[in-house]
Amino acid sequence: MTKKQEATFEEAMENLEKIVEQLEEGDVPLEEAISIYKQGMDLSRLCHSKLKAVEDQLTQILREDGELENFTVQEEE
């Protein structure tokens, strides 16, 4: 048995958009709609976690010595 490969962010977003279109059409039976909704929530969580991981990477900068340092933007007053 092989482990199912996790979808990329783009694949998950594309599938999520298809689910939203299906649900917006309104002609999906209730039990199927609930199942589709649950799949959409899983895809939404996957996209959120991938975006959070990228955000965490972008809040650090690589110093000249190769060490990572947290990066914060100071807002102007």
pLDDT at 57: 79
> 50 in a domain, yes or no?
yes
pLDDT at 4: 66
Q: How many distinct structural domains can be found in the chain? A: 1
> 19 in a domain, yes or no?
yes
How crowded is the C-beta side of 59, counted as CA atoms within 13 Å?
9
The range of the structural domain enclosing residue 52 comes to 9-70
> 75 in a domain, yes or no?
no
Report, as ranges of residue numbers, the positions in the chain whose pLDDT lies below 50: 1-2
> 2 in a domain, yes or no?
no
> 77 in a domain, yes or no?
no
> 18 in a domain, yes or no?
yes
pLDDT at 11: 95
pLDDT at 9: 94
Structure tokens at 67: 């060490």
> 4 in a domain, yes or no?
no
3 Cβ partners below 8 Å, 6+ apart?
none
Q: Are 19 and 39 in contact (CB under 8 A)?
A: yes
pLDDT at 1: 44
Closest Cα to residue 28, out of 39, 16, 36? Answer: 36
Q: What is the pTM of this model?
A: 0.70
pLDDT at 3: 54
Instruction: Using the structure block, give the residue that is written with the tokens 């199912």.
Output: 4
> 61 in a domain, yes or no?
yes
